[in-house]
Amino acid sequence: MAILTSTHLLAVERLLLALWVGGICVIGYLVTPILFATLTDERQLAGMLAGKMFSAISWAGLVIGTLLLIGAVVGAGTQWLRQWRCWLLVSMLIVVVLMLFVIQPMMADLKLQGPVIKGTELAAEFGRLHGISSGLYLWMSLSGLTLVVAGLRRP
């Protein structure tokens, strides 16, 4: 008797995907706005806390996304290259890698240069990176929600 059947694996995939995408949505669209709305006089603290949460969900996404991609490739064999779901998952992983290893470190370096004061060149650069980060995060959110609705595998 097999302990892990294909039904069990599918349930694990769905659970992992729901945890990842749920975390993305809760942190990005619920917790972070509440932090900034509540800590109006302590924007630096709100930003630091939000940054730590974005980092945590990015690391979780790197692990979960990699596991999901391995499962999708193993399940589909060579046909994975023809499945839009796999490519959407790949795009999400690319965003996670960009966030973790490019954008977040660049934003952290800017913060180390001093306070980000409105109207300064430092603030403009931080705003540019924040805009890129927000756009990528939106892409990852919408991609993840699409996969939650459509499933990782063809029905």
How does pLDDT run across 85-101, given as a tens digit for each residue? 999 999 999 999 999 99
For the chain, the structural domain boundaries read 6-150
Reduced to 3 states (helix: H, G, I; strand: E, B; else coil), residue 1 is coil
Alpha helices by DSSP H, listed for the chain, are: 6-26, 32-38, 43-76, 84-98, 104-112, 121-150
For the entire predicted model, the pTM comes to 0.90
Alpha-carbon 22 to chain mean position: 10
CB 25 within 8 A of CB 54: no
Q: What is d(CA 33, CA 16) in angstroms, rounded to the nearest whole number?
A: 25
Angle (nearest 5°) at CA 147 between 144 and 152: 130
- Average pLDDT over the chain, rounded to whole? 92
How does pLDDT run across 113-123, given as a tens digit for each residue? 888 888 889 88
